[in-house]
Copies of this chain bind each other. A is one copy, B any other.
Amino acid sequence: MADPSKGSLNTATVREKWNLRQCIEGCARHGLGGIAPWRDKLAECGIDEASRMIRDNGLTVTGLCRAGLFPASDAAAFQANLDENRRAVDEAVAIDAECVVLVAGGLPVGSRDLPGARAQVRDGIAATLEYARGVGMKLAIEPLHPMYAADRACVNTLAHANDLCDELGEGLGVAVDVYHVWWDPNVATEIARAGKDRILAFHVCDWLVPTTDLLLDRGMMGDGVIDIPAIRAMVEATGFDGLYEVEIFSAENWWKRDPDEVLTTVVERLGSAV
């Protein structure tokens, strides 16, 4: 039997058909306990209106997606990225989010300097963290699957994210998404290492076989090969008691369906496959 209130809707899951207002109303209708808006949806709705609606419906904001994307080809572009991250932190404060999700960013166009990009990510997080501490907002590094190292995120393992937390300290944590970490032989060790204090978000979806697109072919929980209950157990063994945030990029399947059907399925699968 599913407890829908343990679920949080990442707006990416229904992004083709619902705006943020519809997402919030959908969460309430299906009994989900939380929401994780993307910044474009938030901007479209307006922060004040979004904040009021989220509060009125009693939803937890499990994260604001997304900031990060630090590496840049020159100092001016890097500074612009830092400025954008500060705006994201301010927005997260305004909607009382539990964290800002940081996706590291990939190689600057034309670059092959992966260690250099990783150094920019560290510096960018350090600068953003200083600002975030001042306004009481936590930052969650979401390591992305290694297939995104070139163009989306050059932090690709929990080990690397934990190393950054060790180095940069208080206020920084991780977002554990089963899609990105399920393959990692060190996943249990690194989840335990992160611990309750650092695990700021837990995201679920599934890895389909075959996967036909690197970005937009993620599966509904239970339709793929990830042992989600095993990873959830690792996360909860740390003491994590947050919501299960459902984030599914699925251009050819779930994005095309009626979002109410999607949320009905999400609630079922939270009970049977998470």
Contacts and interface: CB of A to CB of B under 8 A. Distances in A.
Interface size class of A (residues with CB under 8 A): 20 to 34
Given A145-B147, A156-B183, A185-B157, A211 B209 contact: no
A114 B146 CA distance: 18
Interface in A182-234: 182-185, 207, 209-211, 214, 224-227
Interface in A136-177: 145-147, 149-151, 154, 156-157, 159-160
A18 B198 CA distance: 54
Contacts of A160: 185
B147 A114 contact: no
Contacts of A209: 107, 150-151
A225 B183 contact: no
Contacts of A183: 114, 146, 149-150, 154, 156
A263 B205 CA distance: 43
A151 B210 contact: yes
Nearest to A183: B149
B225 A150 contact: yes
Contacts of A211: 147, 150, 214
A57 to B, nearest CB: 35
The 3 A-B residue pairs with the shortest CB-CB distance in the complex, in nearest-first order: A149-B183, A146-B183, A112-B227
